[in-house]
Amino acid sequence: MSIRIRVRVLTELQNRGVNDILIACIDGLSGFPEAIASLYPKTEIQLCIIHQIRNSLKYVGAKNHKAFMSDLKPVYRASSKEAAETALDELEAKWGSQYPIVIKSWRRKWEPLSAYFKYPEPIRKIIYTTNAVEAVHRQFRKLTKTKGAFEDVDLLKIGVKLLSS
């Protein structure tokens, strides 16, 4: 999706009356933070923690997934941003030499990854991932996906007649 399309989607939201966005939880689509900032400059960007974790695990050896995840959880489940930063330092001390790309990714994206720490814990669970929105989209796709039960109009007419009798 190009930045023009992203801006067009956001412009459509604006045209429909969305005047302000407090926080936008987004996945790693390039250009999306810039598109949001161009129309909603006060919007805070929160990168999806789940997408970051999944991307990180691509670079961690399968035999280390469980141990790495155990050490990563204190980073994103911390009670404060300061505690998360301490946990990230500990993660780097333990895994940084083995998986420098992963640690660098967390460090480079830290500000938008940690925006949710500004909010109370019950709200954090809602805004730190795009998974809730993706779950709704999955349900819509299931409902709107062509089922193929009535492949032509005549079969559909017969089905309607059977149901109405």
3-state secondary structure 40-54: CCCCEEEECHHHHHH
Reported as a pLDDT band with limits 50, 70 and 90, residue 77 is very high
31: left (phi over 0), alpha (psi -120 to 50) or beta: left
Q: What is the mean pLDDT of residues 72-98?
A: 97
Say which residue, 110 or 1, is predicted with more confidence.
110
Q: Could you report the per-residue pLDDT of 11-63, keeping only the tens digit for each?
A: 888 999 999 999 988 887 778 888 899 899 999 999 999 999 999 999 999 99
Residue 147: strand, helix, or coil: coil
How far is Cα 127 from Cα 43, in angstroms, rounded to an integer?
Answer: 13
Yes or no: say if 107 and 100 are a contact pair by the CB < 8 Å rule.
Answer: no
CB atoms within 10 A of CB 53: 18
How far is Cα 110 from Cα 76, in angstroms, rounded to an integer?
Answer: 11
How far is Cα 117 from Cα 114, in angstroms, rounded to an integer?
Answer: 6
Q: Which sequence spans correspond to the domains of the chain?
A: 50-110
DSSP conformation class of 162: H
pTM: predicted TM-score of the whole model, two decimal places: 0.74
